[in-house]
Each structure stands twice: as structure tokens, then as C-alpha cells.
Amino acid sequence: MTFLEGQAERQGIAIGASGDTRVRSASPAAHPATVATSEETPIKMTARKLSVFYGEKQALFDVSLDIPDRQIMAFIGPSGCGKSTFLRSLNRMNDTIAGCTMTGEVMVDGINIYDRVVDVVELRRRIGMVFQKPNPFPKSIYDNVAYGPRIHGLASSKEELDEIVQTCLARTGLLDEVSTRLHEPGTSLSGGQQQRLCIARAIAVSPDIILMDEPCSALDPIATARVEELMQELQKNYTIVIVTHNMQQAARVSQRTAFFHLGTLVEWGMTEQIFTSPVDDRTQGYITGRYG
Amino acid sequence: MSSEHIVKSYDEELNHLNEAILKMGGLAEAQLADAIEAIAVRDPELASETMRGDVKIDALEAAVDHQAVRLLALRQPMAKDLRTIIAALKISAAIERIGDYAANVAKRAIVLSEARPVRPVHAIPRMGRLVQRMIKDVLDAYTEGDAVKAKAVWLKDADVDDLYNSLFREVLTYMMEDPRNITACTHLLFIAKNIERIGDHATNMAELVYYMVVGTPLLETRPKGDDASYTMVEPPGRTDGKGNAD
């Protein structure tokens, strides 16, 4: 990418920050990687030859993958297969790990997110993350959701902020459950409610993409079903990438599935195809519970 | 890839399912053989015994259904396991139908043994052997997970159709020759039709085995030879419908 292009990209992101995050997706055509897919679905993110190293140790080998726009993509694979490493490289969370280096590129709407001019804070606003264990801030329910919009200056008045908080809580199905106790601590909620609060917090800053790292592994089946239902709902407006050990969950919620093994991307495609007739023996072995 | 599940009991349950299918298939094959033997040797005793044998196949089908539903509910099978279980469910239904047809052939064997012999009966054992062979081969393909063998069975059905067509014409001719042949010949037609239908079910099983092994359906168009539905045989000495004498 030339310096000038970098500048233009930078402005694109700045436009996104002013509230209209869709502006970027209007001009991805110049980047072949964003249009080259076998299906008709537009592509939101593209990884090309992505390798990640923790010090000397290589954790991810030449992963190239397209993530479709406003769909749910699931990453599955045994522990240590690199799926979380890959997920974290999609919003540069790996930057925070000492000794972690990478090669290759990750494009979002045609912009290389590892480009020097990319503002990481802004990037992470556009690409939110939800973690395995619900981690609400030690603040009130209201402030948990209001925190992001406040620091990003997304609301110009108290009323506007109230509306954002209400909308986000409503979208995650929490509003009815917590409307009378918005000023109680977020940590006073049940595990499932806390996770939905974290999702409300993630969507409060109007991201394009939500990354979820095992969002339901600490939840009971009912709370899990609520989060899954929420994901299906959110998918209309957001691109969602989920890492899960629960293959039934991947099968239930996602349209695309990618299988990782020993740091490589073994196979990816339509979820139905992966779970009914996978091509690779390693995928077959993993999803049917046989020795790999 | 090892073919064994980490959870051993899962393998055991899948094996039980396979064993039940093979047992069903073996029974159906024997039922058909006995029914045809009963026709060939005009043995009403053997025919009655064969008819009674069908309940065993029905019982096994219920057992397969139960096991398949249990596996689906408790194991949430994926990929090859899922295809195996779905195939087992459908194959067991096909075998159950084969059993029904064999029982019906046996039932008609009783009547045939009481009617006066008609010559086209001789074609039945040949057709029966062909179809029996298809059942055996498709069960082997199932056991061995052999898609090539399954496809070979699938292609064999055209031969059965050919035999059925020629038998159909022959039987019509016999009925025209002598009305006293009509009872036996009509039963014979139904017998031939039943055996032809058994061939169709073996073909369906072959498609299921192919899907189970390969993961995609067998999409090619199968050569179809059954044109008995369009067959017309004019009796000798009649007009051809346009006013022309024969």
C-alpha cells in the first residue's frame, strides 16, 4: 500500500468514526481479495498468508481466509490449534502480547489493519470483542454500556447516551430484565446476563464486526441459547466471528465454519458441508470425535 | 485417520446398528430365495413358511429405527457418522419393503402351485437370482464402505428391467393363446413386478451406500430399461385398430 493510499484509508476510518461506519464498505472493489469468493456473499475481512509467532514458536502458519459480511463464521479446532490466535489477530489483540510477531496481512473492507497509519483504538472500536468469561467493568449496568460511547464521543447529550444504552440493552434482550436496576453493579447479574451485558457493551460503540472467543463456555444451556439467539439477531447488522469448542454450537449458529489444526487452516466452507461431508480426514476425525 | 471414536461405546452402538442392517439384509435375501424356490418347485409349504418369516424383518426394522433415533439424540453425530445413521434408517426401510415384496411373491407361489403350470415361470428364477445378487452386493458394499461396488449394483438394475420387459411380453402372449392361463399368468406378472420392485429398492440402497461413503449424492442419470408400462401386444388375427387385418 502506498503512502497516499494509506492516507486515504486513514480518512476512511475517520469517516467511520463520525458515525457512518458503512462508508468504507462502499469502495472495496479496488482490492481483489475482497471480491474473490466462490459464492455471492460480499466479503468483510480477508486474511492472506497470516503467520503468527510467539517469540521463536510459530503458532499460525500461512492462514488465508475470507470472512463474509453480516454472517456468522465459526472457528473450530482442538486446543492449541491457533484459532484463538487467529481471532485475536483480526483486531490486533496480539499486539499487546510481548514477543508476538506476525507476517501476512489482514484486510477489513480492503484496508490492511496492520498498516502503520491505522489507529488501533479506532480499529478496535470497529471490531469489538467478547470473551470467554463475562468481564463487566466494576461499574453500574448503565455505565458498562455507556463507557464506550462516552470515550469515543458517540453521544452529544445525556439523552442521546441514555438512548444508546437503552437500545443496546434492548437488542441484547436485557432491558426488560434490568430496567429497574440500571445503576446496580454489572457484576450483580447472573453469568448469562453478564455475558449479554458484555455484548451490549460491545455493540454500544457501533462496531462492524464482533469477535467472540468462546462466549458461551461459562454459561448454562438456557443462557447459551439466549446468546445464540442474540447472535442470530445481531448477524443482520454485524459480521460475527466466533471461536467455539462446542461443535453443535458452531453447527447451530454459523453459516461458515473453519477448522484449524496445529496452527494451520485445514478446511473452511459452508457450515452444512463441513458438518455433513467434510473433505479433509482431519476435519472428519475432529468433528466425529475420532483420534486425529 | 483412525476409524475409532475416542468414546468406545459410540463405536459399539454404531456396530450394533450395522449388524442389525446386515442381519435384516441377509434375511430379506433368504426370503426372496425361498419364495422363488417355492415357485420353481411348486412347494406351498415352503411358500407359507416364507410368508411367516417376514415378521422377523419387520421386528429388526423397528430395532434399527430405535437404535438410529437413540444415536441421533444422544450422540449428535456429525459427518460420516451422521451419513451412516441416516443411510441405515433409509436402508432398513428399503429392506423392509423388500421383505414385503418377497412375502407377496411367496403368497402368489401358493396359488401358482395349485394352478396349471405355465411356461414363463422358468424366467422367474433367473430374474430372482439377478436381484438376489444385487441385494447381496449392495450389502457387501455397505459393509465394506465400497462406493464403486455400490455403483455397480446401481447399474445392474437395467438388466432386471430388461428381463422384466421380455417376461411381460411373453406372459401376455400366453394369456392370449389360452384363457385358462390367465390366472397363473396374472399372478406371474405380479410376481415379476414384485421382483422388479425389489431390484429398484436394491438400487436405492446402492445410492444410499454411495452417499454414505462419498458424502455427495449419486447424481448421474441411471439407464432406465423398464418400458413394460408402454408395452402393447396385439392378439393374433385381430385388426391393428386402423382397420387393417393382421
Strand partners, A213: A243
A217 class by beta-carbon count within 10 Å (0-12 exposed, 13-18 middle, 19+ buried): middle
Question: What percentage of chain B carries pLDDT values higher than 70?
Answer: 93
B148-174 average pLDDT score = 94
B95 class by beta-carbon count within 10 Å (0-12 exposed, 13-18 middle, 19+ buried): buried
Alpha-carbon distance A81 to nearest alpha carbon in chain B (angstroms) = 18
CATH number of residue B168's parent domain: 1.20.58.220
Q: According to the model, what pLDDT value does residue A290 have?
A: 86
> Sign (positive/negative) of CA torsion A223, A225, A231, A233?
negative
Domain total of chain B:
1
Residues of B in contact with A282 (CB under 8 A): 1
Q: Do A291 and B81 touch (CB under 8 A)?
A: no
Distance (Å, rounded) from C-alpha A20 to C-alpha A37? Answer: 26
Domain annotation covers residue B87: yes
Residues of B in contact with A276 (CB under 8 A): 78-79, 82-83, 215
Strand partners, B27: none
Domain annotation covers residue B246: no
> Sign (positive/negative) of CA torsion A159, A161, A162, A166?
positive
Domain annotation covers residue B2: no
B41-55 average pLDDT score = 96
* CB-nearest partner of B79 from A248, A284, A292: A284
Cβ atoms of residues B155 and B222 within 8 Å: yes
Q: What's the DSSP call for residue A266?
A: E
Domain annotation covers residue B240: no
Q: How far is CA A250 from the centre of its chain?
A: 14
Alpha-carbon distance B93 to nearest alpha carbon in chain A (angstroms) = 22
Distance (Å, rounded) from C-alpha A181 to C-alpha A162? Answer: 14
Strand A100-108 versus strand A111-112 pairing type: antiparallel
Domain annotation covers residue B144: yes
Average confidence (pLDDT) per 10 residues, chain A, 292 residues:
39 36 32 41 94 95 96 95 94 91 94 92 93 94 95 92 94 92 95 94 94 92 90 94 94 96 96 94 92 60
Cβ atoms of residues B127 and B160 within 8 Å: yes
Strand partners, A185: A140
* CB-nearest partner of A277 from B2, B10, B215: B215
Tell me the pLDDT tens digit for each residue of B99-158.
999 999 999 999 999 998 888 888 899 999 999 999 999 999 999 999 999 999 999 999
Q: How far is CA B28 from the centre of its chain?
A: 9
Distance (Å, rounded) from C-alpha A61 to C-alpha A41? Answer: 26
Cβ atoms of residues A76 and A269 within 8 Å: no
Q: Do B1 and A283 touch (CB under 8 A)?
A: no
Instruction: Name the pTM for this structure.
Output: 0.79
Tell me the pLDDT tens digit for each residue of B186-225.
999 999 999 999 999 999 999 999 999 999 998 877 777 6
Q: Which residues contact B28 (CB under 8 A, 6 or more apart)?
A: B57, B95, B98, B99, B102, B135
Q: According to the model, what pLDDT value does residue B186 have?
A: 94
Tell me the pLDDT tens digit for each residue of A27-43.
333 332 333 344 578 99
Strands, sheet with A239-243, edge to edge from the N-terminal-most edge strand: A127-130, A209-213, A239-243, A72-76, A256-261, A264-270
Alpha-carbon distance A272 to nearest alpha carbon in chain B (angstroms) = 9
Q: According to the model, what pLDDT value does residue A63 have?
A: 96
Which DSSP string do the residues of A246-261 spell out, in sequence order? Answer: -HHHHHHH-SEEEEEE
Closest-CA residue to B127 (of B169, B172, B164): B164
Which residue is listed with cell 424383518?
Answer: B57
Domain annotation covers residue B143: yes
Q: Which domains does chain A have, with CATH numbers?
A: 3-287 (3.40.50.300)
Residue B91 has pLDDT above 80, yes or no: yes
CA dihedral angle for residue A220, residue A226, residue A230, residue A231, rounded to 10 degrees: 40
Domain that holds residue B67: 8-230
Q: According to the model, what pLDDT value does residue A17 have?
A: 35
The one-letter amino acid at A77: G
Domain annotation covers residue B243: no
* CB-nearest partner of A275 from B2, B5, B78: B78
Of the pLDDT bands very low, low, confident and very high (cuts 50, 70, 90), residue B237 is: low
Distance (Å, rounded) from C-alpha A131 to C-alpha A227? Answer: 13
Domain annotation covers residue B238: no
Q: Do B1 and A289 touch (CB under 8 A)?
A: no
* CB-nearest partner of A281 from B1, B7, B10: B1
